Structure 1
């Protein structure tokens, strides 16, 4: 059995970096603030970011 070490450390930084570098549109949905972006772009960005920051 293989146990996976899962940690949320760095996800705030990852999100801020993606928003700064990516195609993120801020807006409102109903009464809530929202971010709109392609999920595939976010996943690809996270893969590279995690490889650089958690290696």
Structure 2
């Protein structure tokens, strides 16, 4: 399972509502709205040590 970096919800990558490729890593989202927030300002949602939601 991956974690949506915007809302922290656990997301099954196979059932994710949306995804983004951020710096070569796939990020998975529970909803299109979370993806839109992330895409608008990805650095806001990054954590030290890598991109949350990545697999």
Greater relative contact order structure (CA < 8 Å, 6+ sep): 2
Q: Would you tell me which structure has more strand in proportion to its own residues?
A: 2
The answer, yes or no, to whether TM exceeds 0.5 is no
Query: Which has more helix, going by share of residues?
Result: 1
Q: Who wins on radius of gyration, i.e. which is larger?
A: 1
- TM-score in terms of structure 2 length: 0.30
Report the TM-score, using the length of structure 1 for normalisation. 0.30
